[in-house]
Amino acid sequence: MPSVTGRGKLLLSEAWWSLGANLATTIAATMTVLIGMFLLGLFIALGTWTVSWSNHVKRELVVKVDFRRDATRAQESDYARQLQSNPYVKGGGIHYVSKEVGLRQMEKQYPGLAQGLAENPLPDRLELTPNTPENVDKLYASITGTHKSASVHSVIDGKRTSHRILQVAHAIEIVFVLATLVLVASSILLISNTIRLSIFSRRREIEVMKLVGATNWFVRGPFMLEGLICGMLGSVLAVLLLVLGKTFALPAIVPKLSGDPDVHALAFPVLALVLLATGLGLGAVGSGLTIRRFLKV
Best mean pLDDT range from 161-170, 193-202, 219-228, 287-296: 219-228
Please state, for a pLDDT cut of 90, what percent of the chain lies above it. Answer: 19
Tell me: pLDDT of 157 over 70.
yes
Return the higher-pLDDT residue of 274 and 230: 274
Instruction: Look up the CATH architecture of domain 69-150.
Output: 2-Layer Sandwich (3.30)
234 C-beta neighbours (distance < 10 Å), count: 28
Ordered by start, the domain boundaries in the chain are 4-57+163-294, 69-150
Name which of 30, 16, 18 is nearest 282 in CA terms: 30
How far is residue 17's CA from residue 197's CA, in Å, rounded to a whole number?
A: 13
Return the higher-pLDDT residue of 251 and 62: 62
Which range (86-95, 155-164, 201-210, 239-248) has the least confidence?
201-210
Tell me: pLDDT of 234 over 60.
yes
Label residue 266 left, alpha or beta by phi (over 0 means left) and psi (-120 to 50 means alpha). Answer: beta
pTM of the prediction?
0.64
